[in-house]
Amino acid sequence: MEFKEVAQTFERLERTSERLELISILASLFSKADSSNVHMIVYLLQGRVSAPYTGIEIGLGEKLVEEAISRAFGVERGEVEKLYKELGDLGLVAEKLASNKKQMTLFSEPLTLERVYNNFYRIATASGQGVVDKKVRLLADLLKDASPLEARYIVRIPIGRLRLGIGDATILEALAVAKLGDRVYREDLERAYNYVSDLGYVARVLFEKGLEGIREVKPVLGIPIRPALAQRASSLEEIMQRMGGECAAEAKYDGFRLQIHRDGDKVWIFSRRMENMTGLFPDITEAVLRQVKAEKVIFEGEAIAYNEETGEFYPFQVTIQRKRKYGVEKAAEEYPLKLFAFDVMYVEGEDVMDKPYKERRKILEEIIEKGETIELSERIIARGVKELRDFFESCVERGLEGIMAKSLKSPYIAGARKWAWIKYKRVMKSQLSDTIDVVIVGYYKGRGQRAKLGIGGVLAAVYDPKTDTFKTVAKVGSGFTEEQFVELKRLLDEIAIPHKHPRVVSKLEADVWVEPKYVITVLADEITRSPNHTAGWDGERGLALRFPRAVSFVREDKGPEDATTEEELIEMYRQQKHVKVEEGEDSY
């Protein structure tokens, strides 16, 4: 396939602000692909060459890209820098230089998708002596033969400025339309994707084996499964009611969720976001080889740093900081980790995700041998609210975050937030029992004091997985320090777009729209009804956060689709009303 097709599609995607149009533009590109190259399009659309779990990233610094532009078009570096200052986007710089050049050269070889992808793949995996030069050469090689439009995107991909904001669900829907003729098949594709979190893999199976093949997709060792997620409840009574009078309850550890794969001597460790973190956990890798009595296995647990002397657990922040601050080896010594295994998905070649929790837990108990590092999560079988409350209180007393109630009969539901798992935490001081993770979709320039910073607040949204869109819920202007505002503006300007993103549903206008990319955690006093926000829209009003304030800066561990969902927000609103015993009719 000619790369021109891809570049033209990117341009059309950039222009649209309609989600349905987005799907149809993408589907029309996919319908021109075949099983040998569809994965290339899937990855490039997200500015990648491989699934996130592989850790293969193109990531070139701007300086190297400037160097490649300078070499490809035979202009001085100074000239490139000057144009960059003028145009504010290296993609546009390359486009301009390519159009100057095109007037001089008549013939050049048209770029193919394959060539572009392969060069990027080589850039991402290059190593050894002269690696920097090699990367610059590979990029310049593409730029030399690129049309102006192609040059724009070839430059934006390696610096992560594609700004298309195309999420996984949108890609799956477009693939379903292109190959199966109907978006309803997105569900089948999603099921496969939940098993193997690799869009390229799913696309290839679809193109090679059709719907049949997709329905047969099973977990693969070395490719992370998308994690099961928990709902939240407002009371232990509610949990018991939903669970039908009996459930398992496990201690909820405030650590780091890890999914562990083992195939003989080989161990992989993936984060909640399915990034490969094996290198960061030599202590756990070793413990897996020692303590797990299964050769081929996928299981999950929560890792948490603890103080050997006092037996106390450290909070999440300390657990992750241990890596950054102390380096892997030293951290393992000073802050040893414990891994509390809580589920198993695959054992000795068999997918056990469809087995009920009770049976999976039994398998887990059989395969984890007693030892220092890996333990089973503490759990009870609760029959009735009293048993649940006693367990919850004993967990909280010991400094744990709360409990996880789990339905005894449920399968492992990958990639979805279902009532099979319900979290119940210590109540926080504010009225809302939990924080909310929101996606920034735009920002406001700020008045008064803030005007000099150029940013006074952000427009924030929750995620609706059904439509794969972001619906606004608050303007967040407090909780950031001045330095954080400055940094935030810099980050947001990099992903600014000229109009509302097609996946954003908003009644408000932002001063500057951005690609939905960054997640922040906010705390609010309560959730109220509001005609201005689109989250939880009932035909007249939506839901809004009252007095929202940021309690985190941009979360590195969450992508936009990991934000609080619209459904969760509605649920939190309901629970809050339940607590407050509000009067009056409501549609929820």
Site residues (vs ligand ATP, CB under 6 A): 229-230, 250-253, 257, 272, 302, 342, 377, 404, 423
Least spacing, CB of residue 38 vs ligand ATP, in Å: 30
* Tokens 């837990």, residue located: 361
| Residue 516: HSE in the Cβ half-sphere, 13 Å Cα cutoff | 30
| Spatial contact of 502 and 515, defined as CB atoms under 8 Å apart | no
Q: Which two tokens stand for residue 182?
A: 């109907």
Catalytic annotation present for 252 = yes
Is residue 422 packed enough to be buried (19+ CB in 10 Å), middle (13-18) or exposed (0-12)? buried
152 versus 252: smaller Cβ distance to ligand ATP: 252
Report d(CA 301, CA 141) in Å as an integer.
Answer: 46
47 versus 559: smaller Cβ distance to ligand ATP: 559
328 versus 428: smaller Cβ distance to ligand ATP: 428
Query: Nearest to ligand ATP by Cβ — which residue?
Result: 257
Least spacing, CB of residue 257 vs ligand ATP, in Å: 3
Least spacing, CB of residue 229 vs ligand ATP, in Å: 4
How many Cβ atoms from other residues are within 10 Å of residue 435's Cβ?
17
Q: Which two tokens stand for residue 141?
A: 């090689």
Report d(CA 223, CA 49) in Å as an integer.
Answer: 16
Least spacing, CB of residue 427 vs ligand ATP, in Å: 14
Least spacing, CB of residue 338 vs ligand ATP, in Å: 12
| Spatial contact of 412 and 345, defined as CB atoms under 8 Å apart | yes
Q: What are the residues whose beta carbons fall under 8 Å from the beta carbon of 490, sequence distance 6 or more?
A: none
Active site residue: 101, 252, 355, 489, which one?
Answer: 252
SS (H, E, C) 309-350: CCCCECCHHHHHHHHHHHCHHHHHHHCCEEEEEEEEEEECCE
253 versus 470: smaller Cβ distance to ligand ATP: 253
For residue 284, what are the CA distances in angstroms to 55, 249, 278, 281, 413? 19, 25, 9, 5, 25
Report d(CA 431, CA 12) in Å as an integer.
Answer: 45
Least spacing, CB of residue 272 vs ligand ATP, in Å: 6
60 versus 436: smaller Cβ distance to ligand ATP: 436
271 versus 506: smaller Cβ distance to ligand ATP: 271
Least spacing, CB of residue 84 vs ligand ATP, in Å: 38
26 versus 405: smaller Cβ distance to ligand ATP: 405
Report d(CA 515, CA 492) in Å as an integer.
Answer: 8
Active site residues: 252
